[in-house]
């Protein structure tokens, strides 16, 4: 679902209108969105030596342009929604920096035929980005309140190819495995073996690895055709810790 298609509708559900006042007021966010894209492109150039590429693919760039980030943050933060930085979403969690969202999306090499798993739904923003790039998105959130809010938000915005689940993402979503790609949006001190098992041969997983609240390393994990795991360090990052059920 793109901004233009949303704004072109003659009628919208009441819940959507309540959720998204001002969505089609182009003057409100267009300039901020363009500035966000320019900053993402600048960051890609600055980190090209580490990342191994200097620009986003056209499809990922278009997904970032089309996804209304201001609808995935609290109303108090909407004026900051397109700044290139993480923002709090409650319950000790954040919506990731746009550059990091774009980079993680780029590195899994999304394709229209893919089935993708996300660990850490948060506000639903990363899932919304993925929804226009792959066939199916399965996303797991451990915080019940965030799960409920994101599920409602994604449904109201008609991201119909996104399926949500509340639970411990460490164990993945076995019933829907294997996945072509996995995106983990919280830092773990190791790569969960269950997620590796649920990754298809030839599939990719992007995950931050490192201790809580300290610099971590964004890691690209590729599973070869023999099922072996190949890892590559991308760049330093800082994510909230991977939350486990007690």
Per-residue pLDDT at 122? 96
Which residue numbers are catalytic? 96
Model confidence pLDDT, tens digit, residues 121-131: 999 999 999 99
Sign of CA dihedral 150, 154, 156, 157: positive
* Global confidence as pTM: 0.88
Q: Give how far Cα 169 sits from Cα of 48, 139, 192, Å.
A: 31, 9, 10
Query: To 5 degrees, how large is the angle CA 68–CA 74–CA 78?
Result: 55
Q: In percent, how much of the chain has pLDDT > 90? A: 82
Q: Which contacts of 51-55 are long-range, i.e. CB under 8 A and separated by 24 or more positions?
A: 51/103, 51/107, 51/234, 51/235, 53/106
| Domain topology for 85-237 | Rossmann fold (3.40.50)
Predicted confidence (pLDDT) per residue in 137-181, tens digit: 999 999 999 999 999 999 999 999 999 999 999 999 999 999 999
pLDDT given for residue 242 in this prediction: 85
Q: What 3-state class would DSSP assign to 181?
A: strand
Distance CA 127, CA 50 (A): 25
What is the rounded CA–CA span in Å between residue 233 and residue 61? 23
2 has pLDDT over 80: no
Q: What is the pLDDT of residue 223?
A: 95
CB-CB contact of 126 with 183 (8 Å)? yes
């Amino acid at each position: 679902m793109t901004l233009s298609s949303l704004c072109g509708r003659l009628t919208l559900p009441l819940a959507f209108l309540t959720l998204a006042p001002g969505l089609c007021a182009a003057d409100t966010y267009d300039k901020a969105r363009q500035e966000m894209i320019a900053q993402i492109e600048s960051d890609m150039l600055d980190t090209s030596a580490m990342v191994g590429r200097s620009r986003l693919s056209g499809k990922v760039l278009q997904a970032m342009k089309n996804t209304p980030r201001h609808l995935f943050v609290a109303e108090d933060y909407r004026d900051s929604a397109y700044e290139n930085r993480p923002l709090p979403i409650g319950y000790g969690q954040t919506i990731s920096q746009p550059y990091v969202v774009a980079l993680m999306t780029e590195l899994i090499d999304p394709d229209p035929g893919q089935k993708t798993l996300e660990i850490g739904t948060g506000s639903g923003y990363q899932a919304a980005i993925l929804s226009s790039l792959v066939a199916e998105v399965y996303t797991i959130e451990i915080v019940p309140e965030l799960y409920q809010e994101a599920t409602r938000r994604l449904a109201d915005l008609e991201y119909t190819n996104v399926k949500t689940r509340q639970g411990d993402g460490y164990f993945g979503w076995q019933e829907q495995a294997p996945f072509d790609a996995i995106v983990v949006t919280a830092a773990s001190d190791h790569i969960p073996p269950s997620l590796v098992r649920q990754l298809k041969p030839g599939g990719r997983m992007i995950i931050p690895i490192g201790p809580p609240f300290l610099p971590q390393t964004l890691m690209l994990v590729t599973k070869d055709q023999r099922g072996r795991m190949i890892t590559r360090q991308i760049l330093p990052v800082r994510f909230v810790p991977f939350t486990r059920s007690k």
